Amino acid sequence: MVETIILSGTLLTALGVIVATAVKLYKFVRKWELWANTQNEHETDNYMSILQLKIMSPYMPLSERIKAGDKYVSLGGNGEIKHKYHQLIKELEKQESQNYYK
């Protein structure tokens, strides 16, 4: 009888340790997942900012600015930068037509 009580206590203690470890592991994984998602958002924001700088820079070659604009628009970029991108496309078409007639 005493052995059964000791065995039951041991099993319950082991089960408690396993459950507590699982809960701690779940909390750690969840916290890490939130951190990774935050880092991913920051990375995307930084990438969009770099693309914006490329598009708006008059010192970059036109082809590079348009490539950056393609990426920017495909990632959902909008607003003034997208408008500038469309202006750059028109400018490229104008340059190509002028070169065609030379």
The 8-class DSSP code of residue 17 comes to H
Task: Say if CB 85 and CB 69 are below 8 A apart.
Answer: yes
Q: Is 89 exposed, middle or buried (0-12, 13-18, 19+ CB in 10 A)?
A: middle
Return d(Cα 41, Cα 84) in angstroms, integer: 24
The 8-class DSSP code of residue 60 comes to S
pLDDT in tens, the chain (102 residues): 888 888 888 999 999 999 999 999 999 999 999 999 999 999 999 999 999 999 999 999 999 999 999 999 999 988 899 999 999 999 988 888 877 665
Per residue in 71-81, pLDDT (tens digit) is 999 999 888 99
The 8-class DSSP code of residue 76 comes to T
Q: Is 92 exposed, middle or buried (0-12, 13-18, 19+ CB in 10 A)?
A: middle
Q: Give the amino acid at 61.
A: P
pLDDT number for residue 68: 94
